[in-house]
Amino acid sequence: MNATILTFGSRGDVEPYLALAAGLRREGHEINLVAPWSYHEWIASFGVTPRLARFDLGQFVRELEDEAARGTNPIKRLSRMRRTFFEGLTNTLDDFLDASGDADLVIAPGSALGALDIAAARGVPAVIARPIPLSPTRDFPSFMVPFRASLGGAYNRWTERLASRLTWRSYGPPLNKWRTSRLGLRPWNSHREITAEIRERGVPTLNLHSPAVVPRPHDWDRTEHVTGYSFLEPAATWTPDKALQDFLESGPAPVCVGFGSMPLRDPEQRTRAVLEALGATGQRGLVMTGGGGALTRVDAPDTVFFAESLPFHWLFPRMAAVIHHGGAGTTAAVLRAGVPGIILPHAIDQFAWAHQIEKLGVGLRGPALRRLDAKLLSALITQATGDAEMRERASSKGLEICAEDGVSRAVEVLQRYMLELKR
C-alpha cells in the first residue's frame, strides 16, 4: 500500500493521523502525510514522509486572536479573515492533490475535505478517518453543536443538518471554486450531498475513538468502523528534567492545567484565576502554557510548576486531575490515564466531549473557557479530587481503553479494504 494521509489543523489534529501513519509503516506500507512544514521534523521522526500543506490553520487562528486583542476594525478583520482562509484552503486542496500523485489510497480527515474529488482525479479509492464521530445518527446530537440535550432521533438528525449547513458556509465556496477551476467538475450543492456521495460509494469511515467512550450508533451501516483511539506512541523514551522530577517528588500529585493551542486573550488574568483556584483548594498545580497563549508564566508559589508542553502519556497518569479545553486528543489522553478530567470547552466538539465525560461519571463539565471563574473552578477541583467513586470510574475506564489497540484495528480495516478491492 502507498497511502497519502491528508491532515488539516493544529498539532493535536495531526497527531492521530501520524499515529495511524506510523502503524501502517510498521506493517511495511509507504506513507506520505500532508501537514504544515512546522510539523515535518516531528513527522519524519516516526519514519513517515512529510508532504507540505502551505496553510497552517493553527497559525491562522492565532493571528486572528492577536488582531482581535489589538482592537483592529472588526469588519475589516472579518473580510481579511475570509479572504485569507479561502486562499489558504485553496492552497491546501492544491497541496492535497499534488501530494497524492503516486498514492494508491487517499486517507482524508474529518469533513472529507476534497477527498472524493482528489481520489477520483487520481483514480484511487478514498477512506475517511476522524477522531470525532461525525457521521449522521439518531442516537445523539451532532458533535459539532454545543447544545447536548438529546430530544429524540428526529432532533438529533436535525442537529446534524444544522452542523452540515454551518460547515458548508465555511468550506463550501472555496471548495466549489477549486473543484470547478482545477478539476473541471460541477459544484457541490451542499455538504449533505458530499455525505450522501460517501455513503453511496461505500467509502469506509474509520472513527478513531473508543467505543467505551462513544458506543457505536445502532443506525450506522457496515462502512462505519469504530476502531478505538489512535494514540501516538513516543518514538523514543522521554525522561523529565531534574526540576520537574523534583517537583513531582516533593509532594502529592498535582492538578494539571493546560489548554493546548487555544488562542485566547488575557492569558495572565486566566492564569491568575487558575492559581487562585488551586490555592483555595490547597492543591499543587502543574500549568502547561502551551503554544496558543491561553495561559502564561506568572509569579507563583513553589506549589506550582510551569512548563510549555509535556508528553501526555507520561504526565497525565501522575496527576490528581487534569483541567483542559476538551480537544478530542487531550480528552482521549486523560481518559487513558485513568484520572478525572475537568473540561472547560472553547469551541465545536469540545462541548460534546465535556458532556460525554460527565455522562460517563469520569469527569466534570465546567463553564466555557472564556468564562473561567476562580470560585467555580475551585469547586470543580474540589469535586474532582475528592470524589472517590469518580476516581474509581476514571481508573476503570482508563484500563478499558488501555486494553484497546486502536491503531492496529484501523490498520487491519485498511488492509482488508485494499485486499477486497483487488478481488
**Residue 113 or 94, more confident:** 94
CATH code for residues 242-402: 3.40.50.2000
Q: What is the mean pLDDT of residues 243-268?
A: 90
Q: 71: which residues sit within 8 A by CB, 6+ positions away?
A: none
- DSSP per-residue codes, 313-355: HHHGGGSSEEEE---HHHHHHHHHHTS-EEE---STTHHHHHH
The CATH 3.40.50.2000 portion of the chain extends over: 2-229+404-422, 242-402
pLDDT exceeds 90 at position 291: no
**How far is it, in rounded angstroms, from Cα 107 to Cα 3?**
7
**How far is it, in rounded angstroms, from Cα 160 to Cα 172?**
16
Alpha carbon distances (Å) from 123 to 49, 59, 181, 188: 22, 33, 19, 19
Cα dihedral value 328, 333, 338, 341, nearest 10 = -50
Helix (H) / strand (E) element for 60: namely helix 57-70
pLDDT exceeds 70 at position 74: no
The pLDDT value given to residue 137? 96
- Residues β-bridged to residue 6: 34
Residue range 123-150, pLDDT digits in tens: 999 999 999 999 999 999 999 998 888 8
* SS (HEC) of 71-116: CCCHHHHHHHHHHHHHHHHHHHHHHHHHHCCCCCEEEECCCCCCHH
Q: Give the pLDDT band (50/70/90) at residue 316.
A: very high
**Residue whose C-alpha cell reads 482525479 in the numeric block:** 121
pLDDT exceeds 70 at position 404: yes
Q: Give the pLDDT band (50/70/90) at residue 307.
A: very high
Residue range 110-126, pLDDT digits in tens: 766 788 899 989 999 99
Amino acid at 368: A
**How far is it, in rounded angstroms, from Cα 293 to Cα 305?**
17
pLDDT exceeds 90 at position 56: no
pLDDT exceeds 80 at position 329: yes
The pLDDT value given to residue 73? 66
pLDDT exceeds 70 at position 77: no
| Model confidence, pTM | 0.92
- Report the range of poorest mean pLDDT among 49-58, 67-76, 265-274, 371-380: 67-76
The pLDDT value given to residue 68? 62
Residue range 158-213, pLDDT digits in tens: 999 999 998 898 889 999 999 999 999 999 999 889 888 888 989 999 999 999 99
**How far is it, in rounded angstroms, from Cα 20 to Cα 12?**
14
The pLDDT value given to residue 380? 98
Cα dihedral value 356, 362, 368, 369, nearest 10 = -130
Residue range 358-369, pLDDT digits in tens: 999 999 999 998
Q: Give the pLDDT band (50/70/90) at residue 21.
A: very high
**Residue 57 or 356, more confident:** 356
pLDDT exceeds 80 at position 92: yes
Q: Is 142 exposed, middle or buried (0-12, 13-18, 19+ CB in 10 A)?
A: buried
Q: Is 221 exposed, middle or buried (0-12, 13-18, 19+ CB in 10 A)?
A: exposed
Using DSSP's 3-state secondary structure scheme, residue 207 falls into strand
The pLDDT value given to residue 72? 64
Q: What is the mean pLDDT of residues 79-94?
A: 84
Q: What is the mean pLDDT of residues 394-414?
A: 97
**Residue whose C-alpha cell reads 474529518 in the numeric block:** 110
* Overall size of the chain counted in residues: 423
- Residues β-bridged to residue 207: 130, 226
Q: What is the DSSP letter of 186?
A: P
The pLDDT value given to residue 269? 92
The pLDDT value given to residue 398? 98
Residue closest to 355 by CA, chosen among 346, 364, 181: 364
Helix (H) / strand (E) element for 268: namely helix 267-281
Q: Give the pLDDT band (50/70/90) at residue 230.
A: very high
pLDDT exceeds 90 at position 79: no
Cα dihedral value 416, 18, 56, 291, nearest 10 = 150
Average pLDDT of the chain to the nearest whole number: 91
Cα dihedral value 393, 333, 354, 351, nearest 10 = -160
Amino acid at 201: R
- Protein fold of 2-229+404-422: Rossmann fold (3.40.50)
Q: 170: which residues sit within 8 A by CB, 6+ positions away?
A: 85
Q: Give the pLDDT band (50/70/90) at residue 66.
A: low
The pLDDT value given to residue 64? 66
Residue range 257-273, pLDDT digits in tens: 999 876 677 889 999 99
What share of the chain has pLDDT > 90, as a percent? 71
The pLDDT value given to residue 263? 67
